[in-house]
Structure formats: structure tokens, C-alpha cells
Chain A
Amino acid sequence: MKPSSPAMAGEPSANYNFAFLDEQTKRMIRRGLLKAVAIPGHQIPFGSREMPLPYGWGTGGIQITASIVGPDDVLKVIDQGADDTTNAINIRRFFARTAGIATTERTDRASIVQTRHRVPEKPLRAGQILVFQVPTPEPLRWLERREAETRKMHALAEYGAMHVNLYEDIARFGRIAKSYDYPVLVNGRYIMSPSPIPKFDNPKLHMSPALQLYGAGREKRLYAVPPYTEVKSLDFEDHPFRIERWTEACALCGAGDSFLDEVVMDDAGGRMLVCSDSEYCAERRAAGHRGKAAP
């Protein structure tokens, strides 16, 4: 985190502060983040602001990024793993416009990666910050709709209901049927929503060298996973956590270890599977890897 200065290089709008938010708000958010880092996985309420992008578009992540970004930072924004999805482009443009900072599509060049629904395939390194956009910060919300109750459940580490919920899946389907937003236990204490990333990405959260910051703008909550923290996907001894696997490799780059998106080719059942992480796929193709549909 570098201090941000109101006076900035580049050509951000003269009518707004560096990275849009005023400095008092950024300090408030940074204080919240410090608390979040100190209590891994614990949700910290914060005075979320109305942003010029709609709730649900990533206002929590945007507020975090705006609060920690400095003039020398390099920002990467992905949505569904890709840099070229409309929402990712839009958020990247927002920061280019309001902060005049450098942006990149390369994970290894970014100091901050803001993401919605994915963790980059390429491992992150120490010193990088991964900012998650979170719609529903409360992992217990589907079991208990009242906030006053879920706060109490967290305080008492009363997590039996969650295990029962997962067990019900096993009783009905023979397996845990949750495919995304799969709950994790952080540092052996708090159950946390990893935001709706596919469970495929859950193992990447465990002992990550990068700092993970989570922001929920509409629900007004911050939480964090500090570097090298234990993040365990909930499971049972006889039903260990498993990630999804595909029978095919990426049709463009041939990767067999990445999360694949299904693209509908025609209305006669034609499908193609391609890497959801557009950078990972492009880099592999540049290195000469070829999938079965590659030109």
C-alpha cells in the first residue's frame, strides 16, 4: 500500500480526487482493512460510499482499490477471469480516468489485481494484493437470514448448521453439491465466503503469498486473508474437498489445468471449452501451445 496524493500525474478528472474517493474516506477504509487483516476472515462493517458504478458491479472492490492505490501502482482488473469482459474494462477505465494510473493485463506486472469471480491461474507472489468484489459477504446467509443471528454464530464459532447443510448434500446427492462460493475456514477460526469464485479456485487462497482483501459495498463489509494464512475448504474426512475437472483441455491453448468456460457455438448443441483466464490462455498460445481448435 502506498500513500495516495491528491495531486496526481496523468490526466484524471479535475473535479474529483485521486481515485475518486476523498482522503478521509480512504483512511476510514484503510483502518477497516487493517482490522480485517488483524482478524483473518472476520467481517468488518465499514461506511461504504455511494459509488458512480452500480451496487453489484463491484463497488466494494472498487472502494478498496481506490483506498490502497497509489500513483506508482499497476492495476489489473478481471471479471470471470478475463481482462476483456465489459465489466473489467469498465472498472479499469474508471481507475485510469480517476487516478491516471498504469493498468496491465499481466498478473506478474500488477501490484493490485481486482477480481470478480476468479483467482488468476498464474500464482501470485509476495507483495501483490488481490482485491475481491463480494456480493454476499456472509457465508451463513443461506442458513440464517438475520444479520444479528449470524454475527452471534460467528462470535461463538457456532458453525454446526453449516456442516449439517453440507452433510444434507451428501445425504441427497452423495457429494457436496456446492460449486461456487464454497465456504472456507480461515486460520482455524472464522468461516468465510470466498466470494462466488468457483471452488476450483479455493485451493489458491490457501497459504497464498499475496494479501487478499475482500470488499462488499452494498452489504458494507470488509474482510481479509493475510499472506501465508491457512484457508481450508469445509469438508468431511470421508468426503474430502474436491475441485471440478473437465474431460477436455482448452480448445485454444490445450491447457488441462485451468478453469474452462463453455462457449456455445451454434444452436445445434455445438460447444467449445476455453480458458476463463484470458491472460493465461494468451500466454500459453504465445509460447507455442495449441489446443484442438487452434488455427
Chain B
Amino acid sequence: MYVPVKGGEQAIDNAARLLAESRRGDPAVPELTLAQIEGQLAHAVDRVMAEGSLYDRKLAALAIKQARGDLVEAIFLLRAYRTTLLRFGASEPLDTRRMAIRRRISATFKDLPGGQVLGASFDYTHRLLDFSLAETGGPCPAAAKASQALPSDMPSIADILEREGLIEREPAESGGAVADLTREPLRFPAARPVRLQALARADEGFLLGLGYSTQRGYGNNHPFAGEIRHGMVTVEFVPEELGFAVALGEVELTECQMVNQFKGSAAQPPHFTRGYGVAFGHAERKAMAMALVDRSLRAAELGEEVTAPAQDPEFVLYHGDNVEASGFVQHLKLPHYVDFQAELVTVRDLRREFNERAAGRREAAE
């Protein structure tokens, strides 16, 4: 006799307990601490903060631990927490020119004021597995310290080009209200600040693939990495009751100023244009990919032919959010019995009619 399936609630509880047990892993192995994740998996924490749109290393570490290292799941956890937080207001625009630099490189000039500061980077390491890291407790050599502190106001490469009029001017600050994609829906045409906000929250892998596609001929925008800087930036806020800016603290940021060729138009002489990328933490891949995509999304504004996915704002902005995308792709796991049943009935009917018609044709032919 058929017994309808019941007891879903019990199953869910059991599954959650099994998940918790799997998350903990072998009890003989010490449990991960948040300090370990925060300190030793720093890039994972950075990515979760950036795409989770919440600057909190501890919460990001917690999310990573809870998600068993699944970073998109951790981003989801952080977003779901963030959405409950109160908004006090918007900070003053960050002044990245006054960033306390940890790393700053330019690919457009061999040397420039402030110099090339290599900082901590994978860039010039040989990707040979370092088996000595398989053992813990080994000595860690201290890095050499510079004899002299870096200047506190490193000029940005874009400023240097701007002085000569070689690059487009940065649009003046509008001073108006800052759009908030987490409070208002995306509308098209989306202005650049809104696009940048969406890109800053967008999935790194998605932006990477799109940015890469522009380099392979799908909407090329001839980029040069004008400058990439990474360091700490002070966040300032003007409380209404004070009327002047107070420093709230510092955030770690990576910023990329992409310098792109532009052949000019009837109204404008040839000059360089900008693509901009920024991310919480140390996230150069994200910031660079974002800058490529930002520039390619400006194609229509600059009078360039729009032919590639990376130049299409609706394509990019609607599909870049990994919490949205992950949810909708994975929702296919949910029961779809009813729709599927309806589809079954239809397909069976259509097949029957098809076969009847075929049989009719055969009879007519005989």
C-alpha cells in the first residue's frame, strides 16, 4: 500500500545535525578558531567581506567557518546578517590618495613619484608547492623593514595624467544622495555609481570571466593597469549633531585605476579613459576585473559599438550577484512536482498527437 511521504521536519533537523557534525570533522583534530581564519585565510575573509558588502573581519571569519569554507555560502550568511543592520547614514567619500600604502604598483611608468612598492604579493613567486608548509611550527623569517616610511599622500597615476589633459577628468562629485542597491531595486539605464556598486558586490569569478572576455576580443577596451594600490583608508562620517567629519576607523582596500585607450570622437580628441575597481581587503584580481568591466560598461556612453556581453549593462548587472545567482540556480533542487506533472501531461498529449498524425500520413501513403 502507498504511504505518502511525511516527516520532513524530522529529516530537516537530522540533516542539520549531520551538517554540524560534518563541519566539525574529526574531533581528534583541534577546532578552527576565528582568529586562525581571520589571520591565516585573510584572502578568503577579504572576499567574503567584499561580496558580502560588510566590513567586519570577525563576522566574515565566522561565516567562513559556518559555511565550511564555501565562500559563496559565507557571503550569503554575511549578507543575510547585514540586511538586518541599522543605517546611520553614508560616510564621506573615501580619499584613497591618502591611503596608508602597503602595496602600490603601476604598469604604465617604470618609475613614478612615490615609487613602485611591491608589498606582499604572489606575483613573482614560483608556483611550486612549498612542502615545508605541510609541517606546522616551523620558523617564519621576519620581512625586512624599509628604512623610511612611505609618503602619506602618494599621487595617483590618474592625477598625473590628468594634469597633462591626457586622461578624461573624473566626474565632479554630485553631492546628492548615495544610491543603495540593498534598499532600492536596480533600474535601467543604471548610472555609473550604481553600476560600480553592483560590480563591487559582484562575484569575483563572474567579473574575472567577463573582464577576460574583453581582453580576448569580446568588447576590447585596450587597458593598461595605470595603478593598483592596497592599504588602509580612514572612514569619515559627519554626524548631524556635530556638522563636521569625525574618523570612524580604517578599512583595508584595494583600488585599481585602469587606463584605457580611447580614439576620440568628432567632439573629443583622442585621450585615455578610466575604468575603476575597488574591493575590501587585499583583492587585486577582483579590483582589476571590476575595472575592466566598469570600462566596458561605458561603451555606449563613449559612443563605442555595443556588441559583447561585457558591454551590456543588463547582462552584467543582472547576473553578477552570486547570492542571487546561486539561489536561483540551486532552487532547481526544490520540489517542482506540480509543474513537472503538468508538463508530463502536456508532453504525453503532444507525443500522442504526433504519433497519430504520423500514422495518418503512413495510411494515406499506402
- Residues of A whose CB lies within 8 Å of any CB of B are 13, 16, 51-54, 80, 82, 85-87, 89-90, 93-94, 97, 136, 141-142, 144-145, 172-173, 177, 261-269, 276
Contacts and interface: CB of A to CB of B under 8 A. Distances in A.
9 contacts: A52-B128, A53-B127, A144-B217, A145-B216, A173-B263, A173-B270, A264-B111, A264-B112, A268-B163
B118 A86 contact: yes
Contacts of A268: 163
A24 B164 CA distance: 54
Q: What 9 A-B pairs come out closest when comparing CB atoms?
A: A145-B217, A267-B155, A52-B127, A264-B112, A90-B124, A141-B217, A263-B111, A52-B126, A267-B113
Contact of A266 (B110, B113, B118, B218): B113
Interface in B79-137: 109-113, 118, 123-124, 126-128
Given A86-B118, A177-B263, A54 B155 contact: no
Contacts of B123: 54, 86
Contacts of A87: 124
Contacts of B110: 80, 82, 85, 261, 263, 276
A53 B159 contact: no
B interface bracket (residues with beta carbon within 8 Å of A) = 20 to 34
B296 interface: no
Nearest to B157: A264
B302 interface: no
B160 interface: yes
Contact of A97 (B109, B113, B126, B164): B126
Contacts of B128: 13, 16, 52
Q: Taking chain B's interface residues, is the majority helix, strand, or loop, or is none over half, making it mixed?
A: loop
Contacts of A82: 110
A142 B220 CA distance: 8
Contacts of A89: 124
A269 B218 contact: no
Contacts of A85: 110
Nearest to A269: B163
B65 to A, nearest CB: 30
A97 B125 CA distance: 12
Contacts of A264: 109, 111-113, 160
A11 to B, nearest CB: 15
Nearest to B155: A267
A267 B126 contact: no
A179 to B, nearest CB: 9
Nearest to B307: A145
Contacts of A266: 113
Contact of A54 (B118, B127, B163, B215): B127
Contacts of A80: 110
A276 B110 CA distance: 9
Contact of A145 (B111, B124, B218): B218
Contacts of A136: 215-216
Interface string B151-169: 0000100011001100000
Contacts of A93: 126
Given A80-B110, A263-B110, A94 B216 contact: no
Given A141-B217, A145-B217, A53 B111 contact: no
